[in-house]
C-alpha cells in the first residue's frame, strides 16, 4: 500500500469504462517538468477526480496503490482547483465482513453448525477492511498535509517575433 504524488501535465488519459461513479483507465500518461513521462497503467479514479484527468490538465496528482488496483485519489490543478475522493473499498469490506459474520452467527444459532465459507470470508474481509481503512487515512493525510501547495501556472506558449 502506498500513496505518492506526480507533478506534471496529463498527456493521455484513456478511459476503458465508467460505472457507478468510477472511471477505469487503460493508462494515464503524465509529462513531468524535466520532459520525461510517467505512465500509470490500469488506474481507477472517482468521477469527481476524473474530471481533472484530461489531456492538458496540469498540477499535482495524488496516487494510491493497493493490493489489486491503483488509482488517482486527488488533484490540485494549476488553475487552483483541488479535489479529493477517498475510496469506498473500506466500506465495501466492512459491509461484507459484517454480512458474513451475521451468516455465521445465524447458522450457529438456527442450524447448530458453522457455515465455513462465511467464516472464511469473514476472516478475509476483516483484514481487508483494516488495510483499506489505513490506505484511506494515509491518502487523506497526504492530501490534507499538502493543502498549502499551489501548482505553478502552466507556461504560456512563446510568441513568435516578426
At 154 the pLDDT is 52
pTM score above 0.85: no
Please say whether the beta carbons of 135 and 66 come within 8 A.
Answer: yes
At 162 the pLDDT is 43
Domain at 2-86+138-145, CATH from 3.60.150.10, 2.40.50.140, 2.10.240.10, 3.40.50.300? 2.40.50.140
Residue-wise pLDDT tens digits, 91-123: 889 999 999 999 999 999 999 999 999 999 999
6-9: long-range contacts at Cβ-Cβ below 8 A with a sequence spacing of 24 or more? 6/30, 6/32, 6/38, 6/40, 6/60, 6/61, 6/63, 7/32, 7/33, 7/59, 7/60, 7/61, 7/151, 8/32, 8/33, 8/38, 8/58, 8/61, 9/56, 9/57, 9/58, 9/154
Confidence check: pLDDT of 155 > 80: no
Residue-wise pLDDT tens digits, 5-61: 999 999 999 999 998 888 999 999 999 989 899 998 999 999 999 999 999 999 999
At 156 the pLDDT is 46
Amino acid at each position: 500500500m502506498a500513496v505518492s504524488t506526480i507533478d506534471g501535465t496529463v498527456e493521455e488519459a484513456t478511459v476503458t469504462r465508467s460505472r457507478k461513479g468510477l472511471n477505469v483507465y487503460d493508462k494515464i500518461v503524465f509529462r513531468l517538468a524535466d520532459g520525461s513521462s510517467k505512465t500509470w497503467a490500469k488506474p481507477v479514479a472517482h468521477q469527481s477526480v476524473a474530471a481533472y484527468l484530461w489531456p492538458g490538465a496540469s498540477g499535482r496528482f495524488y496516487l494510491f496503490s493497493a493490493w489489486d488496483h491503483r488509482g488517482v485519489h486527488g488533484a490540485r490543478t494549476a488553475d487552483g482547483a483541488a479535489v479529493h475522493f477517498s475510496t469506498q473499498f473500506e466500506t465495501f469490506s466492512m459491509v461484507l465482513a459484517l454480512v458474513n459474520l451475521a451468516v455465521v452467527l445465524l447458522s450457529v444459532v438456527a442450524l447448530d453448525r458453522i457455515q465455513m465459507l462465511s467464516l472464511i470470508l469473514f476472516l478475509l474481509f476483516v483484514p481487508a477492511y483494516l488495510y483499506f481503512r489505513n490506505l484511506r487515512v494515509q491518502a487523506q493525510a497526504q492530501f490534507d498535509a499538502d493543502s498549502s501547495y499551489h501548482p505553478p501556472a502552466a507556461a504560456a506558449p512563446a510568441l513568435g517575433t516578426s
